[in-house]
């Protein structure tokens, strides 16, 4: 691991050694059932044994496949990976919610884990009552909660409703209050899962600030997020999990870039085959998708497929779909982000009246003038009918290599100008009459 030479084992806040968790596929169904099912299972097993055959081994998957790493005291470790890569399983084991199948982890310090905002909130209880209940569930002492009560209420901005049952809260108020409690937990190790995905932008900033503060105080933070800019701005190092294994562990920015571009360094720049299972690894097939994204192509003004554009170039996005239904309604979102995960803009089709028959179809969208400065960008794609259909994060990557023509501004070569290329017109320099400011009209 890139954690450097281990100076003294005692320095690490967390040591993970060969930690693994196996789930039996279909286990949920069997175990969730009733005694009758368990009994019939028993009979089936007995029959198999009686016939001298081994019991058919149920398939199992390693949700977490023997990972080993250390987290230093005071370090903020980001954890990224596709859905099903084992991020949440790892956090659940480290928070002692579930037990590992193999391996071990050593944790030095009080752990506060926040896998969901508002865990243990009860709708019928007031904000005040929930602060105490939630705080106690998260491991705070009563006196500690009393001491921080005012601070929590202030942070959450719900003073006026503190004695109202939280089921009457708006979802924003609910989240603010819930995060406020968790943010004031003072654990030595804070484990956070995707809580930043909720709340409005202002509140997200507040949370990020609070977490920065937390890590600034020398506390160790483990942070799972799909929000790559949150990871790059908060984390010092980043752990990339892929199918339960460690794919990479290193400086946050590098790991995030590697993650975002993974699998998309296709032989043909500007084209990605989205039916490639490589891209869909770990994406749970919870529902039968009726409309699937099959390919994405980037075209320049000459209708040539390319992965490199200049500022203000025309760009055409050509999306290949396959439908298994007759669809009347389709909505497509193309989210353009920087390689660090900062969302720059979204091309949103809105709900379109369409007439799609089962089979493949294509949809294009034109951006007449690409408002992006030099850098690498990623596109996330989302397709919806009345239901969410398909989404592929990091479907394709492309590069903007700066303005067309000679680059006379050396700053163009560095990243000092921001992300967006704004259309602008500068007036001529006008000579003004030199007179005291006070007399000016």
Partner 1 sequence: MAAVSGTTRGDDVVVIRPSTHWVDLGLRELWRSRELLYFLTVRDLKVRYKQTFLGIVWAVIQPVMYMVVFTLLFTRVTTLYNAGQSYAPLALTGSVIWLFFANSVTLASGSLVGSSALITKVYFPRLLQAASPVVAALVDLGLSCFVMLGIMAAYGYYPGVRVVVVFPFLLLAMATAVGVGAWLAALNVKYRDVRFVVPFLLQLWMFASAVFYSSQAVHLDEPWDSLFWANPMAGVVEGWRWALLGGPHPAYGDVALATAGGLVVLVAGVVYFRRKEREFADIV
* Helix H or strand E segment including 29: helix 27-32
The size of the interface with partner 1 (CB under 8 A), counted in residues, is: 49
> Smallest distance, Å, CB 13 to partner 1?
10
Residue 301 corresponds to which tokens in the numbers above? Answer: 């003004």
> Smallest distance, Å, CB 52 to partner 1?
30
> Smallest distance, Å, CB 54 to partner 1?
24
1, 2, 11, 27: residue in contact with partner 1 (rule CB under 8 A) = 27
Of 139, 96, 105, nearest to 119 by C-alpha is 139
> Smallest distance, Å, CB 111 to partner 1?
7
> Smallest distance, Å, CB 102 to partner 1?
6
Q: 316 vs 77, 150, 366, 374, CA distance in Å? A: 38, 54, 4, 18
Q: Are the beta carbons of 106 and 14 closer than 8 angstroms?
A: yes
> Is residue 411 close enough to count as binding partner 1 by CB under 8 A?
no
Residue 149 corresponds to which tokens in the numbers above? Answer: 């009560």
> Is residue 8 close enough to count as binding partner 1 by CB under 8 A?
no
> Is residue 139 close enough to count as binding partner 1 by CB under 8 A?
yes
> Is residue 23 close enough to count as binding partner 1 by CB under 8 A?
yes
How many whole angstroms separate alpha carbon 173 and alpha carbon 334?
30
64, 76, 107, 195: residue in contact with partner 1 (rule CB under 8 A) = 107
Q: Which is nearer to partner 1, 110 or 404 (CB)?
A: 110
- Residue 60 carries which DSSP code? E
> Smallest distance, Å, CB 194 to partner 1?
12
Q: Are the beta carbons of 281 and 244 closer than 8 angstroms?
A: no
Residues 159 to 198 in contact with partner 1, rule: CB under 8 A: 188
How many whole angstroms separate alpha carbon 129 and alpha carbon 163?
8
Q: DSSP 3-state assignment of 312?
A: coil
CB within 8 Å of 194: residues ≥ 6 apart: 224, 225, 226
> Is residue 98 close enough to count as binding partner 1 by CB under 8 A?
yes
Parallel, antiparallel, or unpaired for β 352-356 and 327-338?
A: antiparallel
64, 85, 94, 315: residue in contact with partner 1 (rule CB under 8 A) = 94
- Interacting residue ranges for partner 1, rule: CB under 8 A: 19, 23, 27-28, 31-36, 38, 92-111, 113, 115-116, 119-120, 122, 124-125, 129, 132-133, 136-139, 141-142, 188
């Amino acid at each position: 691991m890139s954690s450097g030479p281990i100076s003294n084992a005692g320095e690490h806040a967390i040591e993970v050694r060969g930690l693994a968790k196996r789930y039996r596929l279909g286990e949920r169904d069997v175990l969730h059932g009733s005694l009758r099912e368990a009994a019939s299972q028993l009979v089936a097993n007995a029959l198999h044994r009686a016939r001298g055959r081994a019991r058919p081994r149920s398939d199992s998957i390693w949700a977490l496949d023997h990972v080993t790493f250390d987290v230093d005291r005071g370090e903020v470790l980001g954890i990224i990976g596709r859905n099903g890569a084992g991020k949440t399983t790892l956090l659940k084991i480290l928070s002692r919610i579930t037990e590992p199948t193999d391996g071990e982890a050593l944790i030095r310090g009080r752990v506060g884990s926040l896998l969901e905002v508002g865990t243990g909130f009860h709708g019928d209880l007031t904000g005040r009552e929930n602060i105490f209940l939630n705080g106690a569930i998260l491991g705070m002492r009563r006196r500690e909660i009393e001491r921080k009560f005012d601070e929590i209420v202030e942070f959450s901005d719900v003073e006026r409703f503190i004695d109202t049952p939280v089921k009457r809260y708006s979802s924003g108020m609910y989240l603010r209050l819930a995060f406020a409690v968790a943010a004031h937990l003072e654990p030595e190790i804070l484990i956070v899962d995707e809580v930043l995905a909720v709340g409005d932008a202002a509140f997200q900033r507040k949370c990020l600030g609070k977490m920065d503060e937390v890590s600034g105080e020398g506390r160790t933070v483990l942070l799972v997020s799909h929000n790559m800019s949150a990871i790059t701005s908060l984390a010092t190092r980043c752990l990339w999990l892929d199918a339960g294994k460690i794919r990479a562990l290193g400086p946050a920015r590098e790991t995030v870039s590697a993650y975002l571009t993974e699998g998309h360094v296709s032989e043909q720049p500007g084209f990605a085959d989205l039916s490639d299972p490589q891209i869909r690894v770990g994406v749970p097939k919870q529902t039968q998708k009726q409309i699937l994204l099959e390919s994405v192509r980037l075209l320049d003004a000459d209708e040539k497929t390319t992965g490199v554009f200049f500022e203000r170039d025309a760009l055409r996005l050509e999306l290949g779909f396959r439908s298994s239904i007759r669809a009347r309604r389709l909505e497509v979102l193309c989210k353009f982000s920087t390689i660090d995960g900062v969302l720059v803009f979204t091309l949103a089709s809105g709900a379109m009246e369409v007439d799609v028959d089962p089979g493949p179809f294509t949809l294009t969208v034109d951006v007449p003038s690409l408002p992006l400065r030099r850098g690498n960008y990623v596109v996330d794609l989302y397709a919806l009918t009345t239901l969410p259909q398909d989404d592929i994060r990091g479907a394709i990557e492309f590069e903007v290599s700066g303005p067309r023509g000679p680059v006379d501004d050396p700053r163009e070569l560095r990243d000092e100008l921001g992300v967006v290329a704004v259309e602008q017109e500068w007036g001529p320099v006008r000579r003004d009459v030199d007179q005291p400011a006070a007399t000016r009209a």
